[in-house]
Structure formats: C-alpha cells, structure tokens
Amino acid sequence: MDKIKRLILLAVPMSVCNFRCNYCYLTHRGECYQGKQPKYKYSPVHVAKAFSQRRLGGPAFFNICADGETLLAKDIDKYVYELLKEGHYIEFVSNLTITPVLKRMLAWDKGLLKHLSFKCSFHFLQLKEKKLLQIFADNVHKVWEAGASANIEMTPCDEMIPYIDEIKKFSMCHFGALPHLSIARNDGTAGIEYLTQLPIDEYDRIWGQFDSNFWKFKKAIFKEKRTEFCYAGDWALQVDLASGFAGECYRHRFSQNIFKNIERPIRFRAVGLCPEPHCYNGHALLTLGCIPNFTNVKYGDIRNRVKEDGSEWLQSELKSFFNSTLVESNREYSEKEKQIIKIKNSVFDVMKLSVKKVTRRK
C-alpha cells in the first residue's frame, strides 16, 4: 500500500466562478471574480515531470484548488490526468456543477480514478437559488459510479440556519449521510477569526447536530497558535500551478521556481516555527503530519462517511493513502538540526525585513 511522501498544495491562480457564496474567503481579497483564466507557463506533461515521484521521493497527496471554481480553470483536467499518471493521489476541490469537464475526467481509466477524490463543496444556498441541487447530487453519484471518491463538505453560515432540516433531509436522501462541515473564516481579520455573528457556544450547539468529525477536528485546532516544529517546506509545499513558484506553506519564506529547471533537485527546507496565527487548514496539514505525531486523527477517516447502505464515500485504496502520515516515509530531524534551522530561518527573516525597509526608504 502506498504511503504519503509529500503533501502538495497546488494553487490554480484564476478568478472565474459560477457561484457567489456570501462566506467565500476569496471575496476578502481584491482580485476575486475578475473572470481571469490562469496563464500557464508550463505544459501538463512538463508539470508532471517536475512532480515526478523520483523528484519528490515517492507518491504525493495533491490538493488542487483554484481561486474560483476549479473545474472552470482552463485545461485543469489535463494537468490532473498527467499527475495521476505519475502515480500521485489527488484531492480536487470543486462545487461539482460543471458537468462536461467532470464527465471527461470520469471517462479515464479506473486505475487512475481510484487515486482521485472530489472534495465536493456543498454550497446549499447557491445550489438552491440556481436550481442546481439535483445536478450536484447527480454528479456526486457519477463520481462514485466511475470508481473515484467523493466527499461532501458544507461551509456553515448564519444564513443557512433556517434550512438545516432541509439540508439534512436532502443529504440523507442523496449522499446516504450528513455532510461534513468546514469552518467559515474571516481572512480579513488579523487573527483569521470565525465568520459568524453567533456567540461561539450557540454556533457549536447549532452546527454540532451534523456530528462531523471533520468539523470537530477543525474546531479543536482553530485559533490555537502552533508552537511545535513544523516540517512544511520539506515534507509539504505550496505551489502555484501557473508559474511553478513554491513555498513552505501559505507564506513563502524561501520562494523557488520548481518548474523552471526540472533537472535541478527541489530545495526542501522546513519552516520550523509556524508564521500563521493558527493552522486553519490543519484538518489536512496536521492530520497528514506536517507536525509529526501531532494527532491520532487520520485525514481519510475525517473525510469519509459510511452511508446508510454500508458503502463509503471514499474508495478503500485512496482512504488508506489518506490515512497514512508523512512521518512514516520521512526522516525526522535531530534536535540540533531543528535548532539550526530555526536560527537560519530567523536570520533570514531579519535580513528580509531590513532589505524591505531599505527598499521602502528608497
């Protein structure tokens, strides 16, 4: 059975979406919904070579997500296809309403589809308003029938509360289980806070009824500053699909272009201390093991649900890969190595800050 060697957050820079969700964190940025497609500098075949198992050290978990609806990103299916052919496992984030592209992907060989999971964002209010609920449900079934995996995730928001009974009924009828819940966050705040007007105990009481282990894990780490040594940058990378620029996690301390010269090895350098207010996507980053042995909670388990008929949302081979952790296939640093990295990183930060100040003065 394959085990995860690296975690790649593959960002697709574009701004096209057929939805306008009120909680979408992209609306907190200036560049949302401009209708711009990605300007890819490298072909799908080149990108797959850049991410070869030889270069990464083994099979990787890819999370592919666009700054809009991922299925609307030009040629995205071609990139996914080449990465699957390279033997990687892919989590593809989508609102699952763009049927023609989805159908093209689901016509691939079953062996490839076993490694593909759709994170189906269940935007209930937009789906209802646009009369797309049935299409969403049908597409989830198409994914399962083709032999890929689909998991349903809803972002709870205050405006959805009057529809909770309807959501539950629809989910049990079409997905055989309740959706998992994410946490709507306010990226416009310095601390990246909850996006809700409710007092937190009321918020917990209302959304707790979905009994989502995914949400429970997210809640447990939300707003908790991480102080442990983090291996993002070595065991994980965040990469821009259009340009190939890569960094450790969401903030790039050491930026490098990993598509430009694919004969050159990638420089894997751990971030050490987390620069973020909290690990808001730790449901993946931490369960997959950027901080070794941080939790016993496994990613595949919290993404999965067992349906009323006993079948599961995630296909078994993929679930087993999603349940492996980075520490199983990577070497942990010695305490001395960790200290050296922390010192080097803080020296680098101070130098970067001084360069910025000098440039600003100019």
The nearest distance, CB 197 to ligand SF4, in angstroms, is 26
Give CA–CA dist 115/335, Å, rounded. 36
Rule CB under 6 A: is residue 279 a binding residue for ligand SF4? yes
Question: Residue 161 is which amino acid?
Answer: I
The answer to whether 21 contacts ligand SF4 (rule: CB under 6 A) is no
Q: Max CA-CA distance within the chain?
A: 67
Check residue 282 for interaction with ligand SF4 (CB under 6 A): yes
290 near ligand SF4, rule: CB under 6 A: yes
Candidates 157, 167, 230, 270: give the one binding ligand SF4 (CB under 6 A).
Answer: 230
Listed ranges 102-110, 203-211, 260-268, 270-278: which one lies at the site for ligand SF4 (CB under 6 A)? 270-278
Selection from 219, 239, 248, 194 nearest residue 50 by Cα: 239
Residue 249 sits in the site that holds ligand SF4 (CB under 6 A): yes
Alpha helices in the chain (DSSP H): 44-50, 53-56, 76-85, 99-106, 110-113, 124-129, 133-146, 164-175, 200-207, 213-221, 282-285, 299-303, 316-322, 335-361
Sorted by sequence, the CB contacts under 8 Å of residue 50 that are 6+ apart come out as 42, 244, 258, 259, 262
Distance CA 7, CA 234 (A): 9
**How many residues bind ligand SF4, per CB under 6 A?**
11
Among 88, 114, 219, 226, binds ligand SF4 (CB under 6 A): 226
Taking the C-alpha atoms of residue 87 and residue 60, their distance in angstroms, rounded to an integer, is 8
Residue 28 vs 225, nearer CB to ligand SF4: 225
Considering only 161-169, 239-247, 269-277, 297-305, which stretch makes contact with ligand SF4 by CB under 6 A? 269-277
Nearest distance in Å: CB 187, ligand SF4: 13
In this structure, how many other beta carbons lie within 10 angstroms of the beta carbon of residue 6?
Answer: 25
Q: How far apart are CA 300 and CA 262, in angstroms?
A: 31
Give residue 336's identity as a one-letter amino acid code: K
217's tokens: 């894990």
Pick 307 or 344: Cβ nearer ligand SF4: 344
Nearer CB in complex with ligand SF4: 109/337: 337
Residue 326 CB, nearest approach to ligand SF4 (Å): 11
Please identify which residue in 76, 195, 285, 326 interacts with ligand SF4, judged by CB under 6 A: 285
Determine, following the binding rule CB under 6 A, whether residue 232 of this chain makes contact with ligand SF4.
Answer: yes
122/229 with CB nearer ligand SF4: 229
Question: Where does this chain bind ligand SF4 (CB under 6 A)?
Answer: 226, 230, 232, 249, 271, 274, 276, 279, 282, 285, 290
